Amino acid sequence: MNDFDFLIGTWDVANRWRADFLDADSAWEEFPAVSRVSRHFDGGASFDEIDFPTKGFGGLTLRLFDREREQWSLYWSSRRTGVLFPPVVGRFEGGRGVFEGEDTHDGKPVRVRFVWSGTEPGQAPRWEQFFSLDGGTGWIQNWTMDFTRRP
Residue 18 burial by CB count (10 A; 0-12/13-18/19+): exposed, middle or buried? Answer: buried
pLDDT of residue 143: 97
Query: Can you give the pLDDT at residue 58?
Result: 96
Asked if 114 and 72 count as a contact pair (C-beta separation under 8 A), the reply is: no
Q: How much of the chain, in percent, has pLDDT values that exceed 70?
A: 100
Fold exhibited by the domain 3-21+29-149? Lipocalin (2.40.128)
Burial class from Cβ neighbours inside 10 Å (0-12, 13-18, 19+) for residue 76 reads buried
Q: For position 1, what pLDDT does the model report? A: 83
Predicted model pTM: 0.94
Give the chain's largest Cα–Cα span. Answer: 43
Which residues in the chain show pLDDT less than 70?
Answer: none
Asked whether 31 and 11 are in contact (CB, 8 A), the reply is: no
Given this model, what pLDDT does residue 77 score?
96
Domain positions in the chain: 3-21+29-149
